[in-house]
Amino acid sequence: MAASKTYLQEVLADSPVFAFTCNETTGTSIADATGNAHPGTISGTYALNQPPMTAGLGKSIAFTAGRIFLPFNSAFMYSNNWAIELVAKFTGTALGQVFGFFDSAAPNGGPAVYVNNGAVGSVLLRDSTGAGSTVSLGGLIDGKFRHLFLGRRGPNLEAWVNGDLTGLATNVAVYKPTSNPAMSLMQFRDGSQSVPGGVDEAAYYTSMPSSDRIKIHAARAMARQQLGGSANLDTGSAASKVLVRRWDTHEHVDAVTPDGTGKWTSLVDPGDYEVTTIGPSGYQPICHGPVTALDF
């Protein structure tokens, strides 16, 4: 069996403009793992060499009132789609900028990500200050690391949390910066709007990877494994649904629709599972288990 890919290998396979592993132990430069030579400069109040979300990610950076800054580069400019990927955690209730790529003139177009903007405990994805151009997610300011993939796909803004599409804004007008904006993470570029918390990994794209790729990134970050197989009826056609529950607790974990051939996969935490093939109407559900998740 071929060796499984690391999280960083999955990220690099989708051609980010820059990617920070945040594994530094000394210094003020954050290395760009892509080879594109876009390092960040870290300043303010922060601590390197902190625990990661999962062991395979190496180290993280804890922030109190600091930022990672990147000066403008023409490679950052996008034509339509863009994406921000973070493994990050947030604490505190003050307004803060998690990621900013700002035009210097009104209406201060993004993309940008805030915490506690308009609602305490929320994470806000913004393309510009125009009406209807935001996605707001609640319940994320709790000090827990999560994999976040936030960006634009055509006319829509998408917010993915731990591999699930959690927020969506449709038919949002594309905003394209007209000046030469700089980027900053975990604090506004002038040193205000600090975000207490931590960053484990960070990447920026001028394209939006497919939904399947986003799910794989999240699975690698969270050290998940895979269940899968063929779910077919006795007629040979594909079953309607596959339900996945933990073997020991029977907790519902996932519901998957097989493709036209019956093939299905589910990315789950390591362990044993009960897998139930469902329908369509008139067919008896069939349960299998324990089924052990495997690396992929």
> CA 179: distance to chain centroid?
28
Q: What is the pLDDT of the chain when averaged over all its residues?
A: 91
Q: Calculate mean pLDDT across residues 145-167.
A: 94
pLDDT at 58 over 90: yes
Token code pair at residue 33: 């793992």
Percent of the chain's residues with pLDDT above 90: 71
What pLDDT, on a 0 to 100 scale, did the predictor assign at position 129?
A: 52
C-alpha–C-alpha distance, residues 76 and 53, integer Å: 27
Domains and CATH numbers, the chain: 7-221 (2.60.120.200), 225-292 (2.60.40.1120)
What pLDDT, on a 0 to 100 scale, did the predictor assign at position 3?
A: 59
pLDDT in tens, 33-48: 999 999 999 999 999 9
C-alpha–C-alpha distance, residues 9 and 81, integer Å: 22
pLDDT in tens, 200-238: 999 999 999 999 999 999 999 999 999 999 999 888 899
Give the residue with greater pLDDT, 6 vs 283. Answer: 6
C-alpha–C-alpha distance, residues 193 and 97, integer Å: 6
Residues with Cβ within 8 Å of 198's Cβ and at least 6 positions away in sequence, in order, are 50, 60, 61, 62, 63, 88, 89, 145
- Among 125-139, 199-213, 239-253, the minimum mean pLDDT is found in 125-139
Q: Calculate mean pLDDT across residues 273-277.
A: 96
Q: Calculate mean pLDDT across residues 252-275.
A: 95
